[in-house]
Amino acid sequence: MNGFWILLRQTPIIIFDFAQRKPNCTEHLAMNEGNQSLVTKFLILGFPDVTGYKATALFFAILIVYIITLMINAMVMVLVSIKSQLHSPMYFFLQQLSFVESMFLTVIIPKMLHVVWLEGATISVIECITQTYLYCAIGCAECHLLTVMAYDRYLAICNPLHYNTIMNTRLQRLLVIYCWVFGFVLTQITLNILCQLEFCGSFVIDHFFCDLVPFVELSCTYKFTLQLEILIVAVPIMGIPFILVIVSYICVFITILGISSSTGRKKTFSTCSSHLAVVTMYFGTLNVIYMIPANGYTLPINKLISFLYIVVTPLFNPIIYCLRNKEMRAVMEKIFSWRNKKK
């Protein structure tokens, strides 16, 4: 853990200076070639084809989506905390998912807004490593939290008689703690290698944030070691959770098909349809992004998919749960009807 604490002590506070001049690639390149020193800053290109008023429009669009997503997630967290009818394991995990996604967005979006506003911006190596590590750690925690939610639905549908006994408050908390600890500890391996990398070639990241693959591609040391480590660590981060989710839902579907009445099948399926939709979007975009060759990573289509995964999907997740869940809709209708009567 030493590498992590050293990294935190050295990480500067990022202040967004909107009056800052757009970085000049030619000037940076001339300086780098002139002294042949190691690279200490990167240039994040963002969206080179989006300039002028288009960049301004994109900036405010991302900002609005970011604020709306945080507000919806905050509403979900508050409702689950204060409404007794939502005090169940499913909503407890939904509350934790809202918190994880809020943290995930906050790691990426503020710097992304900075890059879009300036049509490209510099970032120090330490800041880039920090963003990469937090992005991977929180993403890992979210993968495992979605797996825990699939396990919860499996118990509720396939083993309803023992559900309350097994999924007690203690187990719920332990599972959430496991997701966070596992995410940050597992990616500590990546952090230790990232802290040893040296960058002496290109300093341009053709992305809108410090994602792991394009970041590692710029290194002139330990590149193969880190690429191999990424491949190995991807198995417990994405591979195993994805398989467990599939197995859980196969068991769920088998149980649902065994229900005699169509009404009962429809009612049972509705309890897991929201989570199934979220899991499909999350793992679908994640697999498309990270299961492609590194040399094709910076293609425009892959950057677009990353944009959808980071900006759009977190907005849809809480909306799906709110719109497709009867209890959540009932609580929201009560709140809004009470406010209207009060007026």
The per-residue pLDDT for range 53-106, each reduced to its tens digit, is 989 999 999 999 999 999 999 988 988 888 878 888 888 998 999 999 999 999
**Scanning the structure block, which residue is given the tokens 């944009």?**
307
- Place 226 in a pLDDT band, splitting at 50, 70 and 90: confident
The per-residue pLDDT for range 193-210, each reduced to its tens digit, is 788 777 776 788 888 888
Checking if the pLDDT of 160 tops 70, the result is yes
In this predicted structure, which of 184-188, 244-248, 262-266 has the lowest mean pLDDT? 262-266
pLDDT given for residue 290 in this prediction = 65
Checking if the pLDDT of 5 tops 50, the result is no
Checking if the pLDDT of 301 tops 70, the result is yes
pLDDT given for residue 11 in this prediction = 40
Checking if the pLDDT of 342 tops 70, the result is no
Please report, rounded to a whole number, the percentage of residues in the chain having pLDDT higher than 90: 22
Give the β-pairing of 204-205 and 41-44: parallel
**Which residue range is the domain that position 298 belongs to?**
2-11+18-342
Total structural domains within the chain: 1
pLDDT given for residue 234 in this prediction = 77
- Phi and psi at 41, nearest 5°, equal -140, 150
281 vs 297, residue with greater confidence: 281
Q: For position 164, which CATH number holds?
A: 1.20.1070.10
Cβ atoms within 10 Å of 254's Cβ, excluding its own? 11
Checking if the pLDDT of 283 tops 70, the result is yes
**Burial of residue 342, with CB atoms counted within 10 A of its CB: 0-12 exposed, 13-18 middle, 19 or more buried:** exposed
Checking if the pLDDT of 307 tops 90, the result is no
Which residues 6+ apart lie within 8 Å of 75 measured at CB?
Answer: 318
Between CA 228 and CA 272 the distance in angstroms is 36
pLDDT given for residue 151 in this prediction = 92
Between CA 232 and CA 230 the distance in angstroms is 5
pLDDT given for residue 323 in this prediction = 66
Note the pTM of the prediction, 2 decimals. 0.80
Between CA 110 and CA 101 the distance in angstroms is 14
Between CA 18 and CA 115 the distance in angstroms is 10
Between CA 189 and CA 133 the distance in angstroms is 10
Average pLDDT over residues 295-320: 76
